[in-house]
Amino acid sequence: MIRRFLVYATTAVLISALPASAACYAEYRAQQSNPVRFHVGVAQVSDGACGNIAAAANELSARLRQNGWTLVNVLSTFGPEGLGSRQGNAGQYYLRY
């Protein structure tokens, strides 16, 4: 009986030590020069960039540059709970990059 309890307790401790993998997103502003255009967007970023605006900016800058956009700034990073309220502002740039 005690042995079974130890196995269950050890298993529970090991499972709780696993990292939780929740999706992370960033709201950003970007621009193009010729013609001058701006947009606000929402993009998924890595878990390591969650809560770290500089890391999110590094990730997004390269993605946007591939399509002719320059990152102006990252406004915020957030979890899935913030997606719904930002979809209207991002429009066609919602989860595009």
Instruction: Indicate the domain borders of the chain.
Output: 21-93
Residue 11: its pLDDT value, please?
46
Q: Length of the chain in residues, anyone?
A: 97
Residue 13: its pLDDT value, please?
41
Residue 63: what residue type? Answer: R
In this prediction, residue 14 has a pLDDT band, given cuts at 50, 70 and 90, of very low
pLDDT at 83 over 80: yes
Q: What is the pLDDT of residues 54-67, one digit of tens each?
A: 999 999 999 999 99
Residue 2: its pLDDT value, please?
61
CA angle 6, 11, 16 (to 5 degrees): 130
Q: How confident is the prediction for the chain on average, in pLDDT?
A: 85
Q: What pTM does this model have?
A: 0.75
